[in-house]
Amino acid sequence: MLRFEGTDTYVATQDLQVAVNAAIALERPLLVKGEPGTGKTILAHEIARGIAKDLITWHIKSTTKAQQGLYEYDAVSRLRDGQLGDERVHDIANYIVPGKLWEAFEAPEAPVLLIDEIDKADIEFPNDLLLELDRMEFYVYETRRTIRARHRPIVIITSNNEKELPDAFLRRCFFHYIRFPDRETMQRIIDVHFPGLKHELVHEALTIFYDTRQAPGLKKKPSTSELLDWIKLLLVEDISPEVLRTRDPAKLIPPLHGALLKNEEDVHLFERLAFLHRRERSGS
Amino acid sequence: MFFSFFAELREAKVPVSLREYLTLMEAMQKRVAAFDIEDFYFLARTALVKDERHLDRFDRVFGHCFKGSETPADPQTAIPDQWLRKLAERFLTDEEKQLIEALGGWEQLMESLRQRLAEQRSRHQGGGKWIGTAGTSPFGAYGYNPEGVRVGQQGGRNRSAVKVWDRREFRNLDDTVELGTRNIKLALRRLRQFAREGAAEELDLGGTVKSTAHNAGWLDLKLVPERHNVVKLLLFLDVGGSMEDHVRVCEELFSATRSEFKHLIHFYFHNCIYESVWRDSRRRHVEQVPIIELIRTYDRSYRIVLVGDASMSPYEIEKEGGSVERWNDEPGEVWLRRLFEAYPRAVWLNPVPEKYWAGTTSIAMIRRIAENRMFPLTLDGLDRAMRRLKRRG
Ligand SMILES: Nc1ncnc2c1ncn2[C@@H]1O[C@H](COP(=O)(O)OP(=O)(O)OP(=O)(O)O)[C@@H](O)[C@H]1O
Ligand SMILES: [Mg+2]
């Protein structure tokens, strides 16, 4: 049986592995949630890589309709062809454009199908896909054809919690909430991205990173992706672990903080904290 | 044990249905998690819990049901197939019944589950893979050292002396906890959702063109909900001492959603509402707005949200001159009632945990005046409050 255990570029914690493998074994969708930047989207890519399958990505926007995942009827082209007297116009099948689900169903080998950010769409969207995801088939009215999955794709769905998902939909999925990585997991994640990084540097960077996340009142807590960006910058600028450790106590703001704090208010907040920190020190 | 686990989950308000339960069994049958209580925990979690808010409840129930036991269940007594079967007949859809058949029917399902569990037990007696066995957990005793002590690697993964479910890592996600910077993002989303609902319809030009083309040129009008919404809100914030932190959270919350509201206007008060409120919390004596004028300015279509701990001396509510700020000719209660009367859609959000409400006289009084429309300042409370605001009166 296929088993996913993470890859050389992706750290999958044990609970995530169990969830993914349950979804693979039972051929049921896996719904993944978690803070932004905790590797929800990349997970599907890594599953595909890990078990050597193709990946089909369907990125959902606020205007996306369930039907678009099945197929669309390109009426405008047909109208145009009709006016130009094109022969194709007589066969409606020429104007049926397959969607991502169709693509996944027709694949010669079960692919991984990523439905990214499902919560962006209309509240009815998940319900509209229930049957198709359950039965893995749908009917094309225009051509009176049923499209049936040759192999059930491995479906990974991500959500950022913008909307509640309907119960009927949830009942059909496995669910995994990516907990924000603890220090140890984070260390492993850094390791797959920057193998052979100096242990000291990682240690200091992680300390600053988790301290930063703890600052009360942050609008946007830096996440895994910000940490990785920041470390990349530290490397480019050749910042040494000593610099990270013996930061000027007058400045609490970490070097190259732009990668960690993306929002002006958060930078201000940090400056305020630095000020308090200084006062505390001089007082003691 | 399985049965009581399932029942306790429902009792703890983790909405598991039989369908989820079957999924778990099917996964056991397919050996997704074999021989390991921790994997079983992960599997049960991914199959039974569909909302991060319920993860902590799940952990508590799991900890309770499998307390001290290193094997998930006793296969001989655990599975009440009689009960399940009856339940199945009553509650399962045809589709779900087919699913059971596809898996070889109940007998088959139960039997393989029993086998699986029995295997786990013998494994356990063999002493191989279980956590808590000698050598892997020097701290042995259950529940000792709640922070968990890393006890080295086993099969490439980390173990700690405290069981995963006992670490209660999802506590912050339960929406009955107090609103703070931690969960403010979620609160925001809820609020946005509220603000977006109830919008009017407008012509969808693109949709109309498209469906008209589809219709071979016959006009086919399409309407969509208007993007910008119509909710108008007056927000009254208590700026009295102990309230400061909570009020800040609340203020932030509403300000961050400002663009979602057609109108959002802040006012400040201290403890209770009297004849006037302030526009600016720092210049309370300069920019006063009399309630009477406020009622004249903003019509009944506005909804009002009051945020305050409602904790004060009863005098401040029921007596003239009771205000801590300055002399009031009429008691706070009168002004509160005027406000509620002028705005039928109103709620009071209270940062004081709900369980203390009954024990505080002034909270009980205000609650009565607000006709029970007081909600705790938690995600769940916010949800309920917003739902209440949609209703009239
Ligand atoms: N467990 C992990 N192992 C390796 N890299 C990771 C892991 N988690 C996150 N990352 C890194 O973090 C980056 C962000 O991940 P991704 O874009 O998948 O996050 P996301 O959860 O989808 O975020 P959003 O909610 O913003 O869409 C990825 O490019 C990846 O490199
Ligand atoms: Mg993403």
Per-residue pLDDT, averaged over B99-119, amounts to 60
Per-residue pLDDT, averaged over B154-175, amounts to 54
Amino acid code (one letter) for B68: G
The residues near B248 (Cβ < 8 Å, ≥ 6 apart) are none
Do B280 and B341 belong together in one domain? yes
For residue B101, pLDDT over 80 is answered with no
For residue A42, give the ligand 1 atom closest to its CA.
Answer: 18
For residue A13, give the ligand 1 atom closest to its CA.
Answer: 1
For residue A20, pLDDT over 90 is answered with yes
Ligand closest to Cα of A160 equals: 1
Per mean pLDDT, which range of A61-65, B213-217, B326-330, B383-387 is the poorest?
Answer: B213-217
B23 neighbourhood in chain A, CB within 8 Å: 26, 28, 174
Do B372 and B245 belong together in one domain? yes
Q: Which of A4, A14, A122, A269 to mutate to test the interface with B (most CBs of B within 10 A)?
A: A14
Left if phi > 0, otherwise alpha if psi is -120 to 50, otherwise beta: which for A256?
A: left
For residue B209, pLDDT over 50 is answered with yes
Do B386 and B299 belong together in one domain? yes
For residue B381, pLDDT over 60 is answered with yes
ipTM: 0.87
Per mean pLDDT, which range of A79-88, B232-241, B291-300 is the poorest?
Answer: B232-241
Is residue B268 included in any domain, yes or no?
A: yes
Per-residue pLDDT, averaged over A14-33, amounts to 95
Nearest CA in chain A to B32: A22
| A38 C-alpha to ligand 1 centroid (Å) | 4
Nearest CA in chain B to A214: B182
The tokens for B174 are 């339960």
How many pairs of residues across A and B have Cβ atoms under 8 Å apart? 81
Per-residue pLDDT, averaged over A233-260, amounts to 74
For residue B359, pLDDT over 90 is answered with no
Per-residue pLDDT, averaged over B315-342, amounts to 85
Show which of B16, B38, B71 is a domain's final residue: B71
Mind listing the pLDDT tens digit for each residue in A198-241? 888 899 889 888 888 887 667 788 899 999 999 998 888 888 88
CATH number for the domain harbouring residue B386 = 3.40.50
Do B60 and B124 belong together in one domain? no
Percent of chain B clearing pLDDT 70 (strictly above): 54
Which residues line ligand 1 at a C-beta cut-off of 6 Å? A 10-11, 34, 36-42, 160, 189, 192, 224-225, 228
The residues near B113 (Cβ < 8 Å, ≥ 6 apart) are B25, B28, B29, B75, B79
Do B108 and B218 belong together in one domain? no
Do B236 and B107 belong together in one domain? no
B220: domain range? 195-226
- Tell me, what's the pLDDT at B242? 60
Is residue B318 included in any domain, yes or no?
A: yes
Please give the residue that has the higher pLDDT: either A120 or B88: A120
Is residue B164 included in any domain, yes or no?
A: no
Ligand closest to Cα of A193 equals: 1
Q: How far is B250 from chain A (nearest CA, A)?
A: 12
Please give the residue that has the higher pLDDT: either A164 or B75: A164
Please give the residue that has the higher pLDDT: either B344 or B64: B344
Count up the domains in chain B and report the number. 4
- Tell me, what's the pLDDT at B336? 94
| DSSP result, A118-154 | GGGS-TTHHHHHHHHHHHSEEEETTTTEEEE-SS--E
Q: Do B210 and A15 touch (CB under 8 A)?
A: no
For residue A90, pLDDT over 80 is answered with yes
Do B202 and B253 belong together in one domain? no
Which residues hold their Cβ within 5 A of ligand 2, which is an ion? A 40-41
For residue A68, pLDDT over 90 is answered with yes
Give the 3-state secondary structure of B283-332: CCCCCEEEHHHHHHHCCCCCEEEEECCCCCCCHHHHCCCCCCCCCCCCCH
For residue B376, pLDDT over 50 is answered with yes
Show which of B97, B125, B150 is a domain's final residue: B150
Is residue B350 included in any domain, yes or no?
A: yes
Do B308 and B326 belong together in one domain? yes
Do B310 and B350 belong together in one domain? yes
Amino acid code (one letter) for A225: S
pLDDT classification of B307: cutoffs 50, 70, 90: confident
Is residue B144 included in any domain, yes or no?
A: yes
- Tell me, what's the pLDDT at A54? 95
Please give the residue that has the higher pLDDT: either A69 or B175: A69
Query: What is the rounded distance in angstroms from the CA atom of residue B238 to the CA atom of residue B264?
Result: 17
For residue A284, pLDDT over 60 is answered with no
For all residues of chain A together, what is the average pLDDT? 88
Q: Do A179 and B19 touch (CB under 8 A)?
A: no
Among B43, B49, B189, select the one facing A22 at the smallest CB separation.
Answer: B43
Please give the residue that has the higher pLDDT: either B69 or B184: B184
Please give the residue that has the higher pLDDT: either B266 or A256: B266
Do B316 and B376 belong together in one domain? yes
The secondary element (H helix, E strand) that includes residue B268 is: strand B263-269
Is residue B204 included in any domain, yes or no?
A: yes
Smallest CA separation from ligand 1 atom 8, residue:
A39
Largest Cα span, chain A = 88
pLDDT classification of B383: cutoffs 50, 70, 90: confident
Q: Are A237 and A254 in contact (CB under 8 A)?
A: no
Among A19, A30, A79, select the one facing B42 at the smallest CB separation.
Answer: A19
Q: Which of B18, B48, B50 to mutate to test the interface with A (most CBs of A within 10 A)?
A: B50
**Count of residues making up chain B:** 393
Q: Are B47 and B24 in contact (CB under 8 A)?
A: yes
User: How far separated are the first and last CA of chain B, in Å rounded?
Assistant: 47
Neighbours of A282 (CB within 10 A): 8
Pairing of strands A55-59, A174-178: unpaired
pLDDT classification of B259: cutoffs 50, 70, 90: low
- Tell me, what's the pLDDT at B193? 65
Most confident of A93-102, B275-284, B317-326, B354-363: A93-102
Of residues A210, A116, A123, A187, the one with CA closest to residue A156:
A116
For residue B198, pLDDT over 50 is answered with no
The tokens for A206 are 């992680």
Among B15, B33, B173, select the one facing A18 at the smallest CB separation.
Answer: B33
pLDDT classification of B281: cutoffs 50, 70, 90: low
Is residue B156 included in any domain, yes or no?
A: no
Do B100 and B214 belong together in one domain? no
What is this structure's pTM?
0.64
* Residue entry with tokens 């989207």: A41
Distance of CA B277 to the CA centre of its chain: 32
Is residue B173 included in any domain, yes or no?
A: no
Q: How far is B58 from chain A (nearest CA, A)?
A: 13
Do B222 and B234 belong together in one domain? no
Most confident of A97-106, B109-118, B164-173: A97-106
Q: List helix spans (H) across A27-99.
A: 40-50, 66-70, 75-84
Pairing of strands A137-140, B263-269: unpaired
- Tell me, what's the pLDDT at B166? 72
Q: Do A177 and B52 touch (CB under 8 A)?
A: yes
